[in-house]
Amino acid sequence: MATDIHSKPFDEGTQIKLQIVRDYLKEWLPVFIMKKVPTWKKLFIYDFFAGEGSDTVGNYGSPLIILDEIRKYCNAIQEKEMLVKIVLNEYSEKKTERLKKSCADYIDTCRASLKHDSLSCKEDGNCVFHLVFENQDFQDFFGSIYSTMQNLSDYPRFIFLDQYGVRHVTKEVFNKLLALVRTDFIFFISSSYVHRFVENPEFQKYIDLERKDFDGKNLYQCHRVLFDYYKSLSELNHTKIYLAPFSIKKGKNVYGLIFGSHHKLGIEKFLKVCWSQNPQTGDANFDIDNQKINSSEPKLFPDQDVPRKVEMFENELQRKIYMKELKTNIDVYDFTFDFGMLPSHANKVIRNLISKGKVAEGVKLSSSNIHKLEETSL
């Protein structure tokens, strides 16, 4: 099942996965670093399956992407006396050595260029990159540092788990991720393998699903089933967390990312990244519902160009408002994020209902920073 993605150039699916991680870091880092007076002086980033740092033609893997995004804030990090700790774990000893060299080469090039006028490079030669390399089995390493992570729960943390296959993010590990407050995480999973081997006892050790769970879903929608499974675990755990999936088609197989955040701003930013990847549904790098919508060649009837997911959302949002299941603007946006939609999608529906007199004209709407929005009744 496991293939070495670093032994050849990254394929399109891998590049999309890495682009999503990069784009989310672009959204995540300035929230904490660029505050005039930072609330937190420490940030933690964990890449538990770090790999070698790049592919055979030099495309950046997640470790170098992390360095590349943090580099933009070198001056701010030093001026505000912040610590950004980056923990890179790779099980393979050979890959770990290559990873160390990749990071060292990146930092040497960064120092030599000085194009970003880094204070840390110019003044005392100390680099703001605080790197920790580990060469351990994920389960052993995660288990050994988990209590420390809990003790440091007041600090913002981003976790990336780019596992091979399905066996590492078990129910136990997922529940531990849920318990880490002020933590955003993204993990990768081989969804089509679960779809194919769901009745195999080996898979059932890691994913508690049955064949019937995939009824009514084709192979291309299998990651949605995996997402629903993890979402059900959070509900059983009674943990308030915002989750979202993104399906990635690679050849005949479907893989996927699952994102989690305890904060509205986290899910808002992740969904923004996903919808920039796919403006039709925001949850896949392909036509997941096989609707063959082409914005450059509209169909005869406009309704046929509305993605099924968008139509379902609009209908369900209206129904919940009519039935008084959603009573405030905050209720609406919580439902919107839970559906994997953006505030702008909800605003379109609300404005239509305002024009019909079904929603009060004074309801406060916003297209961003929903966590700061004042609550008003519909």
Whether the predicted pLDDT of 353 surpasses 80: yes
Read off the pLDDT of residues 14-29 as tens digits, 9 standing for 90 and up.
999 999 999 999 999 9
Burial class (CB in 10 A: 0-12, 13-18, 19+), 251: exposed
Whether the predicted pLDDT of 295 surpasses 70: no
pLDDT of residue 1: 42
Radius of gyration of the chain (CA): 22
Strand order in the sheet with 242-250: 130-134, 83-89, 42-47, 157-161, 183-189, 253-261, 242-250
Whether the predicted pLDDT of 45 surpasses 60: yes
- Model pTM? 0.91
Provide CB contacts within 8 A for 124, sequence distance 6+: none
In 241-305, DSSP assigns E strands to 242-250, 253-261
Whether the predicted pLDDT of 163 surpasses 90: yes
Alpha helix ranges (H) inside 34-169 = 62-71, 74-79, 93-113, 119-123, 138-151
Q: Which of 75-79, 279-283, 334-338, 356-360 reaches the highest mean pLDDT?
A: 334-338
φ, ψ (nearest 5 deg) of residue 187? -130, 155
pLDDT of residue 38: 86
Question: Is residue 219 a contact partner of residue 208, using CB atoms and an 8 Å limit?
Answer: no
